[in-house]
Amino acid sequence: MDDLMVVTGGAGFIGSNIVRGLNQRGYNNLVVVDNLGNNSEKFANLVDCEIADFIDKQAFVELLEAGYLQNNVRAVFHQGACSDTMELDGRYMMANNFEYSKQLLTACQQARIPFFYASSASVYGSGEVFAEERVYEAPLNVYGYSKFLFDQYVRRRMSSFTAQVVGFRYFNVYGPREQHKGRMASVAFHFYNQYKAQGYINLFKGSHGYGDGCQLRDFIHVDDVVAVNLSCLDDSSRSGIFNLGTGKASSFNDVGLAVVNYFVDGGTTGPLSLAQAQEKGLIRYVDFPAGLEGRYQSFTQANMERLRSAGYGAPFKEVATGVVDYLRVLDQ
């Protein structure tokens, strides 16, 4: 297929998985935009992918101003952002996540090109209702605010758009190609490495009204994230801002236990229970970090009604199976 498509953040976690997903559909005429400056190991995410070109982010900004997207580009998947929720430099965050996104959206609209972009469940903050409505949105950090503000920018302009625009509020995504993210990688990745290194895993003690390891998040496998992105490429009538989780919250204990049972052969007794894993010292608990107080979501669960109503009906991987699928990839 000769359609040229652009994936910003294409060497990153979700971006490189989208590149791979497009390859699997026969799309190889892909332009990856990224900044490898201080994280050159990200290139490894693209080694098994087919792309037509790699453009540094700053060079791409200059090309946008020169009308680059007017040259027969079919779609833009905008995954490029600073995703560090602990980043305190507000100017840097807003330049990367808000101003850059506005510039790219404008260029896509001028060229009448579909624009699929990464938003975040962080826009909901500490609320307990996760539906795509302004009343439920109150981010806790500047990262969440940058995503929230761009969503608001999109909403105000939606009625005047000349081409498809879809924003995905990613919940807790895990899966292959995230090894470069360091402390921002998924808990499944960290638990896997902890167990390999020390023979047990550490979870946070109780906080914000939750017991030890009982904080709840909506964990979604990156394969499902890619599938939803590509389904919107297939359906040009689908525009708007959509939650992208599974619709089911799982505890950190659930993820931890899936990792433990991946390594531990229960024999005839079957998988260990949480109590057994705790008793054997395979799951332990550490103090909740003081630096996360007031900036941490102890509960997330995507309301998936809007995406389902828009026609996406495929099931999502359960944590117990999705985590094991991921660990098998890590072991390769």
Q: Is 143 one of the annotated active-site residues of the chain?
A: yes
**Sequence-ordered strand ranges (E) for 208-316:** 216-217, 219-221, 240-244, 250-251, 283-286
**Which secondary-structure segment (H or E) carries 307?**
helix 305-309
> Exactly one of 57, 181, 205, 248 is catalytic; which is it?
181
DSSP 8-state symbol, 287: P
| Distance (Å, whole) CA 103 – CA 63 | 12
> Do residues 183 and 151 lie in contact, with contact meaning Cβ atoms separated by under 8 Å?
no
| Distance (Å, whole) CA 162 – CA 230 | 20
Q: Is 196 one of the annotated active-site residues of the chain?
A: no
> Exactly one of 68, 117, 124, 143 is catalytic; which is it?
143
Q: Who contacts 64 (Cβ-Cβ below 8 Å, separation ≥6)? A: 103, 104, 107
Beta bridge partners of 250: 217
Could you give the 3-state DSSP secondary structure of residue 284? strand
- Report the catalytic residues: 143, 181
